[in-house]
Amino acid sequence: MTATHTTERAVIAKRVDSGTADTEEIRDLARAAGYDVVDEITQTRTEDPAYHLGEGKVTRLSNAVAREGAAVVIFDNQLGPYQTYNIGNELPERVRVIDRFRLILEIFGQRAQTRKAQLQVELAELRYELPRAEAKASLAKRDERPGFMGLGEYDESREEDIKKQIANIRDELESIEETERHRREQRRESGFDLVALAGYTNAGKSTLLRRLADDLDVDENDDLHPDLDTTAESEDRLFTTLGTTTRRAEVGKREVLVTDTVGFIQDLPHWLVESFKSTLGSVYHADLVLLVVDISESVEEIREKLVTSHDTLYERNEAPIVTVLNKTDMVDDEEVRRKKDALSSLAPNPVAVSAEQGLNIDDLAERIDYELPDYERERLVLPMNDDTMSLVSWIHDHASVETVDYGDQVVIEFEARPAIIEQSRSKAGDLVGASA
């Protein structure tokens, strides 16, 4: 008899200092983690140091949990260890309390398929735990007793253990990053331009990746490109892409590798963004970044996301950034024009497309070609022999060949990335020297 998985029922809680609490995103996050959201409690007030919410609202929260038979309370806020403990004491027995960032870590953990992704999740979890361990240590020392407020036994070595684990993970991630840097250089030397997709979750990055590379097959056994994939998920759920998915595309004369990366999410703390910097390596080291936003959202939402994205990208990125206003099939032309004008200071000359419908993808391809580093032209005169035929074949594979004249000598004219031009000159020099 096969065991069935029971989805845990969850009550959402959110406090805001002013205005009305919006719970749409935290509900999406909870569903992405596999929870069944059965109720919500919100409050507009300043933060209570002991309970985060007011005590009366905590009582209402407890009643909702009991009434709905919930197993989890999910706060769309960051809770301190003291607040987590106090709230838990007011809830029915065995009901867990998790905050927004613990929920995000749960989702990351569920989606981590590669060693790199798993390490980054572990690093984020340790960064999350470290200040809590430090708080326990500080209060335990002050009160001269193990643990505090029932938050667990105090282990004097726990802080040091966490710090050592963080250092070890950083070392392993650095080793992985070095391998990836070498792979990127191999790809550039093979004539590929590197384009990265960035943006918030559900902006349509994976759908756009599929659209750009729709007509091309990818050899998954290609030793040079071990992470290439023929498919990119585009489900309507957050964090579908935790790792990276890379596909080949033709843009004009160019062979391009387009990589979809982990989606940004609002209000992430610095320690969590820092833990996933390794995943963003494909963005920081790309030749061009396509920053994808959902044009169907309000101007205020788009502006906020653009500002946050720019802060993250410009910190280490040197490549040009092109803003792609996606999902134009969900708005009319007038709204597209209005939002382009309103966002012009943050997104000058954006490209508006519908990845879902395939609208304006050709315009985007032209823009990609324009923004990528200029190709150089080269003309080589080579001796007529078998080694030259091999070089001509190599140039065809790595460059855009314009003409080849076969006579007493072989004259080939082509355009390519500077690295390919340099390699072709070196190979040609060897050929001419050997035939002299």
Summarize the annotated binding site for Mg(2+) as residue ranges. Answer: 206, 241
Phi, psi (degrees; rounded to nearest 5) at 322: -110, 125
Give the Cα separation of 95 and 116 in Å (integer): 32
Query: Which segments of 327-390 are extended strands (E)?
Result: 351-352, 376-383
For residue 151, with 0-12 CB atoms within 10 Å meaning exposed, 13-18 middle and 19 or more buried, which class applies?
A: middle
Q: What amino acid occupies position 135?
A: A
> In angstroms, what is the C-alpha Rg of the chain?
27
Quickly list DSSP for 373-435.
PPPEEEEEEEESSHHHHHHHHHHHHHSEEEEEEESSEEEEEEEE-HHHHHHHHHHHHHHHHHH
Give the Cα separation of 140 and 433 in Å (integer): 76
Helices 100-111 and 24-32 sit at what angle, rounded to 10 degrees?
40
Token pair of 79, please?
A: 């809770």
Q: Collect all residues with Cβ–Cβ distance below 8 Å to 406 and sequence separation of at least 6.
A: 384
Taking a C-beta distance cutoff of 8 angstroms, is the pair 126, 277 a contact? no
Give the Cα separation of 301 and 324 in Å (integer): 15
Give the Cα separation of 41 and 64 in Å (integer): 8
Binding residues for GTP: 199-206, 260-263, 326-329
Give the Cα separation of 193 and 169 in Å (integer): 30
Give the Cα separation of 220 and 229 in Å (integer): 6
Binding residues: 199-206, 241, 260-263, 326-329
Q: Collect all residues with Cβ–Cβ distance below 8 Å to 380 and sequence separation of at least 6.
A: 411, 412, 424, 425, 428
Nearest to 202 by CA among 337, 297, 267, 290: 297
